[in-house]
Amino acid sequence: MDGALPTRRLPERATDLAMALGVGALVSLSPLTASPFGAHARASLAAGLGAAVLAYAARRAGWLPRLSPEPCRREGARPTLAAGLATVLVVLAFLPTLAWLFERWTTSVWQNVHGLFIPLVMFWLTRRTLQAAPVERFASSAWAWPVLGAAGLLLALGSVRGTPIVAALGLVLALPGLVLLLLGSAGVRRLWLPLALAPFALPVGYDSPVHDALRSACAWAVAEVLRALGVHVARIGLQLHLPHGVFEITEACSGFSTLYGVGAFALVLAYLARGTARRRLTLAAALPLAFAANVLRVLGLIALEWIQPGFFETPLHKGTGVATFLVAFFALAAVAGLLARAPRPPDRTSAPC
């Protein structure tokens, strides 16, 4: 009887349970739910527990695929003592920056809501890449030291001037420096995607030219759609003058947060896609989908305010921002799924192993 038992069932269940607990903790800490340390701690913990149960059940049912391939059978070397000590020192130096980033990620749904997910995606992609093609030996690059030095200068500048975002930029720069230190230039080429995702974790404020451009484009698109629907509208700058009121496209309605998160998601989907054409189409679809989702949100808000005056003052107003974020994500995932099912020529490239 013992010999008939599957040998991998217990490790798989343990892995699935750990994944589910991680999902539950992430949902509890995420600004999408109430703070687990505040007055609504029970609601936050209940949401996390529910997410964990659903994630575990979905994984055991086979609805969620295992995200890491089987590792190749190769022996890897160990990094040098100097490289290991330098890595520890860099991590310790940026611990206050990491704490600041975590505080910003979990403050509010308007403070870079997807930022909490970026480090986890980076870790998964790094692990997946190194499992598919393990490092046979560690070879440091001399370019690591100037890159880490520049990261240290940004950290010092941010600390002296009291601008944590500058120190966070130093952290983003320190990541390729550590890869150069541990894996050399070949490691940077191999781990380009996790490194490219790091800037998407930075909290970006509203005072940027990108926000202004998106607000103007959104106001123009909403006005054109309303005219096509037969609604009389006059657009003056960022204001829309309608028969039942005047609406302004504010900073929060620019759609930048949605575009910021969808851009990171598009990079991951493009990486997972097979074929250059599919990758390019996935990346090209990110901006139109994010912009369209935000235009639909503004149109919906105008309609709801017309049906129920005072809707802007209700909590559902902010909830529409979260809904826009999710709609754009699922729309991009659907596009990637349709592209994946499209026929393609046979892939003649060899597998990493």
Residue scoring higher pLDDT (333 or 162):
333
User: What's the pLDDT at 207?
Assistant: 62
Residue located via tokens 């990493």: 352
Beta strand segments in the chain, E: 234-236, 239-242, 245-248
Is 331 strand, coil or helix? helix
Order the strands of the 245-248 sheet from edge to edge. 234-236, 239-242, 245-248
User: What's the pLDDT at 237?
Assistant: 85
CA distance 145 to 78: 20
Asked if pLDDT for residue 270 goes beyond 70, the answer is: yes
Structure tokens that stand for 25 in this block: 């903790």
CA distance 17 to 70: 19
User: What's the pLDDT at 172?
Assistant: 92
Asked if pLDDT for residue 153 goes beyond 80, the answer is: yes
Average pLDDT over every residue of 136-151: 78
Compute the mean pLDDT over every residue in the chain, rounded to the nearest whole number: 76
What kind and span of H or E run contains 164? Answer: helix 164-190
Among candidates 195, 199, 203, 177, which has minimal Cα distance to 100? Answer: 203
Polymer length in residues for the chain? 353
pLDDT in tens, 87-122: 788 888 888 888 888 888 877 655 566 677 888 888
Domain boundaries, the chain: 10-65, 77-203, 209-341
Q: With helix as H, strand as E and coil as C, how does 246-293 read?
A: EEECCHHHCCHHHHHHHHHHHHHHHHHCCCHHHHHHHHHHHHHHHHHH
pLDDT in tens, 282-330: 889 988 998 999 899 888 888 887 887 777 777 676 667 777 878 888 8
Average pLDDT over every residue of 148-162: 83
Among candidates 263, 100, 107, which has minimal Cα distance to 197? Answer: 263
pLDDT in tens, 189-235: 888 888 998 988 888 766 667 777 888 898 899 889 988 888 888 88
Residue scoring higher pLDDT (216 or 44):
216
Residue located via tokens 């996390």: 48
Q: What pTM was computed for the model?
A: 0.61
Among candidates 191, 162, 144, 182, which has minimal Cα distance to 97? Answer: 162
User: What's the pLDDT at 79?
Assistant: 54
